Structure 1
Amino acid sequence: MAQAQTAYPSGLPLGASPDVIAPLTSAVPGDQAPPPDPYGTFSFSIENDMFGGSDRYYTNGFQFAWRSPSADLPGPLAWLNDRLDWVMGPGTLRWGAALGQSMYTAEDTFATNPRLNDRPYAAYLYGALSLSRTSEFTSTQFELQAGVVGPSALGEFIQNNYHELIGVDQVNGWKTQLKDEPALTAIIERKWRLPLGELGGVGFEAIPSASLSLGNVQTYAGIGGLLRFGQGLDADFGPPRIRPALAGSSWIQPRQDFGWYVFAGVDGRGVARDITLDGNTWRDSRSVDKRPLVGDLQAGVAVLWQGMRFAYTQVWRSEEFYGQRGLQSFGSLSVSFRF
């Protein structure tokens, strides 16, 4: 499909006029779709508490993700896209698919019968389909996840076999994990790009975000934002992350061969349901009293080169349940390729 080409704003001095902040609205003057993109993007992300010096709570997550070129959608997704027109807003269309797993353990991984107020063992294995619409200043994504929570999510198998491979002690509490339960979650997220100016060829911008998730795995509303500076900022909306974090963009569309940025951000969620804390929906299982508000602080760096993106994010997450002993720190590493 033909799209109008819009140059990314540049050369704005720091402290630019309030007109620069106009993109916060969904109908931004001049907020057109970026040039058509004939390339798709494959991304791999891994998050692990090893980067935070621990082995507890949210201990590992991975995700393989594919985002299509900006092209016409397959039939069923085109039908869904039409139904979501009222909420998705303007922009270039992409569709995506993903496969991922998230894994959670107690603080005491040596105990075969962890204390009742410790985090329940749980694993979540899922596939996802997504639709996104992206303009120069906004990005909206709808994602539908379907999978399973429980032994069939292969948490024990993957963690203990990996530990055996690298010569680390086995994790002993998996026999107490949540029981098998089908999982279905719908997520919508909107991001706004707010250029803040340029200094010495380095751009500055803010990316506020809002999200809503509904399902038996996670039900929450989130809001947050990212500040970043660098070169080639128009290539993406930040690096990808594994939910419930506010995700960046799994796709990249650079306008130059080399780019980079340094970023920091914060987001908060009001949590109505988290199956990994609340326990199984219809069956008896371990559970803890979750905290209704959870926050993430993050900082990191991304480098884009020749159609590839390498990003690292360090995350500090507030306590998620009553009885948790301190916040959690973990790292997120992602690699993306255009082809």
Structure 2
Amino acid sequence: MAWMRRVFFACGIAAAAALPAAAQQSAAAEPSPALSLIFENDVFFNEDRDYTNGIELTYTTRPSQNVDAMVSLARALPLFADHGLVRTSYSLGQSIFTPKHTELAVPLPTERPYAGYLYATLGLIEANPDRLDQLSVQIGVVGPMALAKESQDWVHSIIDDTKPKGWHYQLHNEPAFNVTYDRSMKLIPPQSLLGLVLDVEPHFGGAVGTVYDYANAGAMVRLGFNLPDDFGPPRIEPNLPGTSYFEPNGGFSLYAFAGVDGRAVARNIFLDGNTWRDSPSVDKYWAVGDLTLGAAMTLSGVRVAFTHVFRTREYKTQDKSSQFGAVNVSFRL
């Protein structure tokens, strides 16, 4: 299958680049901190429309590196367990959205508006053997200050591609704030199946703020050998939850995964337009679903993953569903 060839091609390239760092990793008694990079783009499938690019860099602490107040907060929150390993994460990211016909100087009103989002995220993570709770607080900016036009023009100049012409009509500058919560569970913990290891991880959660308001639920299945101690690779929200950190169970690990996530969406600023000013907008669907397929492998202190995301239509004048690829490389430090 074509998507599987892309999976192993992307994983192989990233792993080859990461191996020198992996060789320097040493085992530690305490879970390690991690540095994770996510790159999402529809160029993997020869498209340049809708959600067209996302990049996010995350540092996740080891449990002993937490500020005491973060641990106290995790113990006090009703959605978190009263025990488990607590970690803190710090992220920087940018997301870019464009209409289908980027060659037009004046975008069609029936297509998604141009928009950029630049953000920083503080996350609180509590892990138990059969449960993962994640709470994140995100602040950022939507609009020209997000530098989406400059980022996309720079990339298109490198690959000698035509630059989109309608960025003058992007959403206006607006401060952004969002709170997101996800819980993942090991409904079926890792167990042997036909000589491999399988686990099943349902999840639920939601988000509230000026960027997204939604409730979501879904599940992921992993099948492979020597599964690391994690809940799958991370993706940029909104998407299936995962973990930027991982704990290898020794040696080489390889697994395939498949997942679904359904969202009931009350607000999406990238479709609804600016909160306090008139701006381009489209009529969104309140129900959106993702199907994800992918593979991940770990070797010593490096995990490499590729995810193919199929997303249902998000607004009523969208002519078809969308798809994009996500590459994640995580390092244990």
**How far off is 1:188 after superposition?**
0.7
Residue 88 in structure 1 maps to residue 80 in structure 2: yes
How far apart in 1 are the matches of 2:179 and 2:305?
A: 26
How far apart in 1 are the matches of 2:261 and 2:230?
A: 19
**How far off is 1:328 after superposition?**
0.4
> Which segments of 5 or more consecutive residues in structure 1 lack a partner in the other structure?
1-34
Asked if the contact 1:257/1:307 (under 8 Å) is kept, the reply is no
**How far off is 1:39 after superposition?**
1.4
Residue 61 in structure 1 maps to residue 61 in structure 2: no
How far apart in 2 are the matches of 1:308 and 1:97?
A: 19
**How far off is 1:234 after superposition?**
4.1
Residue 156 in structure 1 maps to residue 145 in structure 2: no
Q: Which moved more, 1:194-203 or 1:281-290?
A: 194-203
**Corresponding residue for 2:269?**
275
Residue 170 in structure 1 maps to residue 153 in structure 2: no
How far apart in 2 are the matches of 1:209 and 1:37?
A: 27
Q: Runs of 4+ in structure 1 displaced over 4 angstroms? A: none
**Corresponding residue for 2:237?**
243
**Corresponding residue for 2:201?**
207
**How far off is 1:51 after superposition?**
1.1
Asked if the contact 2:63/2:86 (under 8 Å) is kept, the reply is yes
**How far off is 1:157 after superposition?**
0.4
Aligned length, in residue pairs: 304
How far apart in 1 are the matches of 2:51 and 2:209?
A: 19
CA 1:255–1:91: 2 relative to 1, 3 Å: same
Q: Which moved more, 1:159-168 or 1:177-186?
A: 159-168
Secondary structure of 1:331's match?
A: strand
Residue 139 in structure 1 maps to residue 167 in structure 2: no
Alignment root-mean-square deviation, CA: 1.4
Secondary structure of 2:283's match?
A: coil
Secondary structure of 2:274's match?
A: coil
- What amino acid is the match of 2:317? G
How far apart in 2 are the matches of 1:111 and 1:117?
A: 13
How far apart in 2 are the matches of 1:122 and 1:241?
A: 20
How far apart in 1 are the matches of 2:56 and 2:228?
A: 24
TM-score normalised by L of structure 2: 0.88
**Corresponding residue for 2:248?**
254
How far apart in 1 are the matches of 2:29 and 2:204?
A: 26
**How far off is 1:176 after superposition?**
0.3
Secondary structure of 1:71's match?
A: helix
Q: 2:285 aligns with which of 280, 291, 309?
A: 291
Secondary structure of 1:227's match?
A: strand
Asked if the contact 2:251/2:300 (under 8 Å) is kept, the reply is yes
TM-score normalised by L of structure 1: 0.87
Q: How does 1:291-330 map to 2 (within 5 A)?
A: 291-330=285-324
Q: Between the two proteins, what is the percent identity of the paired residues?
A: 40
Give per-residue Cα distances to partners, 1:224-255, cap 9 Å, x unaligned.
11111112224210111000002211111112
How far apart in 2 are the matches of 1:72 and 1:164?
A: 41
Secondary structure of 2:153's match?
A: helix
CA 1:163–1:72: 2 relative to 1, 3 Å: closer
Give per-residue Cα distances to partners, 1:44-99, cap 9 Å, x unaligned.
00000011221000000000011111225214434533442x21113211111000
How far apart in 2 are the matches of 1:144 and 1:161?
A: 29
CA 1:68–1:143: 2 relative to 1, 3 Å: same
Secondary structure of 1:285's match?
A: coil
**Corresponding residue for 1:220?**
214
Give per-residue Cα distances to partners, 1:146-184, cap 9 Å, x unaligned.
000000000000001111122100111110000001001
- What amino acid is the match of 1:289? D
Give per-residue Cα distances to partners, 1:96-140, cap 9 Å, x unaligned.
100011100011000111111110000111000111110111111
> Which segments of 5 or more consecutive residues in structure 2 lack a partner in the other structure?
1-27
- What amino acid is the match of 2:57? F
**Corresponding residue for 2:63?**
70
How far apart in 1 are the matches of 2:116 and 2:76?
A: 32
Secondary structure of 2:298's match?
A: strand
